[in-house]
């Protein structure tokens, strides 16, 4: 190995201005097929909240909740407070957390396509088990299989999109994952609205239709090209160059190809990427891989999306009205992602995150004040105030959709050097799913305990994350993915954290890894 010949991340020098190519149909189709993985994630987020509000489903699997729901004396905030019901939603994300860590070596050693296909197959099995469930054990097993699918898909798809996309459009194309997620949520809300009328088996159809996006993801995975980065990393250099030429629509890819070669040689010398990611030179990326997905969940968005029908019913909306309202929030989330796709590579990541954070804080505080003043345990919101609550929840969802929603995935997927990229994405997915599991399991109890204060709880976290972005996140717009490491040395804070001679540490890590092997 050419130990010390590389700079940080295996890139010898900045060559971004020499990159050639255009947006080809090959890129667009590859990104569209890969992003279908996001629709699986979104469909499950949207479908579980609607299903758990259906009386037929509750009566069959959670009879105590069904009885509590009918009692008028029960607190509006506590009707659905049941840990078993919460486990139906959260078990998927716990399984996904474990699966995302298993997916990392598969993604690195066998390619991004392999993980995408594995995720699709697992999700197909889970959808079938859920639709056919006759007892709680079978229902939870299906949810676990869905979680395995999500763990693989969420680990591989953002990585795939970041590596296939041209540098100047990486943010927008990477957000195809989030757009597909929001479309999945909206589709699930529409499905729930229709299937609630198909008694008593409508909930089975809602859960079973998850097989459709899973089928598209599985079949599409077989036709996807592998990313040039992955092919080169696995020694298929000439094949990697041919794929890169197809993606860029030109044979003049020498600069980008050389960056990939340099990064790949360093990546292949690192035999223990999870150990390497703990090195001081990778400290900024590791911090982002932990805090970006954690903050994304602590906005409170998943509480609204998971439990939208339950939440709106708790706030006094009728069954149909709650599903209408949750469908509306799903539509808003989907449309707002288009705003982000159109602006992220023009305005930059930081501007969207900070502006979105400020809007989310304002909306959550207003909703909390209205509920605190006008809504209690034994009263319903007036029609006028109900409309105001829905409007501000939609404005909150709108802000999330152009900021933390897509960028919580985009930024971690684009900042890691090749040698730790798969491991870094696994950490991102694992942290996201860990906090998703915690919030999903705890939300119904928190709603019962905090009441209207639940919105202030999440608003406080949005304040923290907005300050975090302002001070600690550098702008990644337009920076080539193989040269991203150079960004941290220019940042006012991270340049103090990084070791004085990153090149020497890189050489030491390489030699130690080779000796270990």
pLDDT digits (tens, 9 = 90+) for 476-494: 888 887 778 888 988 999 9
pLDDT grade for 513, boundaries at 50, 70 and 90: very low
Instruction: Specify whether the CB–CB gap between 181 and 491 falls below 8 A.
Output: no
| Terminal Cα-to-Cα distance of the chain (whole angstroms) | 13
What's the pLDDT at 317?
63
Q: At what angle do helices 404-415 and 349-374 cross, to 10 degrees?
A: 150
Name the percent of the chain lying above pLDDT 70.
86
Alpha-carbon distance of 241 to 259, in angstroms, equals 12
Q: What is the pLDDT of residues 334-355, one digit of tens each?
A: 888 888 888 888 899 999 999 9
| Structural domains counted in the chain | 1
Name the percent of the chain lying above pLDDT 90.
21
Domain of residue 115, CATH code:
1.20.1250.20
Say whether pLDDT at 175 is over 80: no
22 versus 479: which is more confidently predicted? 479
Q: Measured between alpha carbons, how far is residue 132 from residues 123, 137, 349 in Å?
A: 14, 12, 43
Count CA atoms closer than 13 A to 92's CA, side-chain side: 28
The answer to which of 77-81, 143-147, 228-232, 492-496 has the lowest mean pLDDT is 77-81
Q: Is residue 12 part of a domain?
A: no
Instruction: Specify whether the CB–CB gap between 20 and 250 falls below 8 A.
Output: yes
The answer to which of 133-142, 158-167, 365-374 has the lowest mean pLDDT is 158-167
Q: What is the pLDDT of residues 268-327, one digit of tens each?
A: 776 677 788 888 888 999 999 999 999 999 998 877 776 666 666 666 666 566 667 777
The 8-class DSSP code of residue 500 comes to S
pTM of the model: 0.74
Say whether pLDDT at 356 is over 90: yes
Q: What is the pLDDT of residues 368-423, one digit of tens each?
A: 898 888 776 566 667 777 788 888 988 999 999 899 988 998 898 888 887 788 78
pLDDT grade for 466, boundaries at 50, 70 and 90: very high
What's the pLDDT at 6?
36
Q: Is residue 142 part of a domain?
A: yes
Q: Is residue 21 part of a domain?
A: yes
Alpha-carbon distance of 381 to 312, in angstroms, equals 11
pLDDT grade for 12, boundaries at 50, 70 and 90: very low
Alpha-carbon distance of 204 to 57, in angstroms, equals 9
Residue 106 tokens read as 């598969």
The answer to which of 221-225, 226-230, 244-248, 318-322 has the lowest mean pLDDT is 318-322
Q: Is residue 8 part of a domain?
A: no
Q: Per-residue b/e over 173-208, b at no fewer than 16 CB within 10 Å? A: bbbbbbbbbbbbbbbbbbbbbebbeeeeebbbebbb
Alpha-carbon distance of 77 to 448, in angstroms, equals 5
Alpha-carbon distance of 85 to 78, in angstroms, equals 13
The answer to which of 69-83, 140-154, 172-186, 220-234 has the lowest mean pLDDT is 69-83
Q: Is residue 2 part of a domain?
A: no
Alpha-carbon distance of 191 to 397, in angstroms, equals 20
Say whether pLDDT at 113 is over 80: yes
Alpha-carbon distance of 216 to 184, in angstroms, equals 13
Mean pLDDT calculated for residue range 450-471: 94
169 versus 245: which is more confidently predicted? 245
What's the pLDDT at 72?
55
pLDDT grade for 47, boundaries at 50, 70 and 90: confident
Q: Is residue 432 part of a domain?
A: yes
Instruction: Specify whether the CB–CB gap between 164 and 34 falls below 8 A.
Output: yes
The 8-class DSSP code of residue 486 comes to H
Q: Measured between alpha carbons, how far is residue 349 from residues 14, 38, 309, 430 in Å?
A: 21, 20, 32, 22
Cis, bond preceding 200 (omega within 30 deg of 0): yes
Q: Is residue 494 part of a domain?
A: yes
Say whether pLDDT at 9 is over 60: no
Q: Is residue 356 part of a domain?
A: yes
What's the pLDDT at 506?
47
Mean pLDDT calculated for residue range 102-111: 86
Helix (H, G, I), strand (E, B) or coil at 75: coil
- What torsion, rounded to 10 degrees, do the Cα atoms 414, 415, 421, 424 define? -110
Mean pLDDT calculated for residue range 489-515: 65
Helix (H, G, I), strand (E, B) or coil at 381: coil
Which range marks the domain in which residue 22 is found?
A: 17-511
């Amino acid at each position: 190995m050419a130990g010390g010949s590389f700079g940080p991340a295996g890139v010898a020098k900045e060559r971004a201005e020499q990159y050639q190519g255009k947006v080809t149909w090959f890129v667009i189709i590859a990104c569209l097929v890969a992003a279908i993985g996001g629709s699986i994630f979104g469909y499950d987020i949207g479908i579980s909240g609607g299903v758990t509000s259906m009386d037929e489903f509750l009566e069959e699997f959670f009879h105590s909740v069904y009885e509590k729901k009918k009692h008028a004396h029960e607190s509006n905030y506590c009707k659905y407070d049941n840990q078993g019901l919460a486990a139906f939603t959260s078990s998927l994300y716990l399984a996904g957390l474990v699966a995302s860590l298993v997916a990392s070596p598969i993604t690195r050693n066998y390619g991004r396509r392999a993980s995408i296909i594995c995720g699709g197959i697992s999700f197909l099995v889970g959808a079938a088990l859920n639709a056919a469930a006759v007892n709680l054990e079978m229902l939870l097993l299906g949810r676990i299989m869905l979680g395995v699918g999500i763990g693989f898909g969420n680990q591989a798809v953002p990585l795939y999109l970041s590596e296939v996309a041209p540098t100047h459009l990486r943010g927008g194309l990477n957000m195809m994952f989030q757009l597909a997620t929001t479309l999945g949520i909206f589709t699930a809300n529409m499905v729930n609205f229709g299937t609630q009328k198909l008694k008593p088996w409508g909930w089975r159809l809602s859960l079973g239709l998850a097989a459709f996006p899973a089928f598209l993801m599985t079949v599409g995975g077989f036709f996807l090209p592998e990313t040039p980065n992955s092919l080169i990393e696995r020694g298929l250099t000439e094949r990697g160059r041919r794929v890169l030429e197809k993606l860029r629509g030109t044979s003049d890819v020498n600069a980008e190809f050389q960056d990939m070669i340099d990064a790949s040689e360093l990546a292949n010398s690192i035999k223990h990427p999870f150990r390497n990611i703990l090195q001081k030179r990778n400290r900024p990326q590791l911090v982002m891989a932990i805090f970006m997905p954690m903050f994304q969940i602590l906005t409170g968005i998943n509480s609204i999306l998971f439990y939208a029908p339950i939440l709106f019913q708790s706030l006094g909306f009728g069954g149909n009205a709650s599903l209408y309202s949750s469908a509306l929030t799903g539509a808003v989330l989907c449309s707002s992602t288009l705003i982000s796709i159109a602006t992220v590579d023009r305005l930059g990541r930081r501007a969207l995150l900070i502006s979105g954070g400020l809007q989310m804080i304002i909306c959550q505080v207003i909703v909390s004040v209205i509920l605190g003043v006008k809504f209690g345990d034994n009263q319903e919101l007036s029609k006028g105030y109900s409309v105001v609550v829905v409007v501000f929840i939609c404005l909150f969802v709108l802000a999330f959709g152009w900021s933390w929603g897509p960028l919580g995935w985009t930024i971690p997927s684009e900042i890691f050097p090749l040698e730790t990229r798969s491991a870094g994405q696994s950490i991102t997915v694992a942290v996201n799913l860990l906090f998703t599991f915690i919030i999903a399991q705890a939300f119904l109890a928190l709603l019962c305990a905090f009441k209207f204060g639940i919105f202030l709880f999440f608003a406080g976290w949005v304040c923290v994350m907005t300050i975090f972005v302002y001070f600690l996140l550098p702008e990644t717009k337009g920076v080539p993915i193989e040269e991203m490491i150079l960004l941290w040395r220019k940042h006012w804070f991270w340049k103090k954290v990084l070791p004085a001679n990153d090149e020497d540490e890189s050489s030491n890590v390489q030699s130690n890894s080779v000796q270990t092997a």
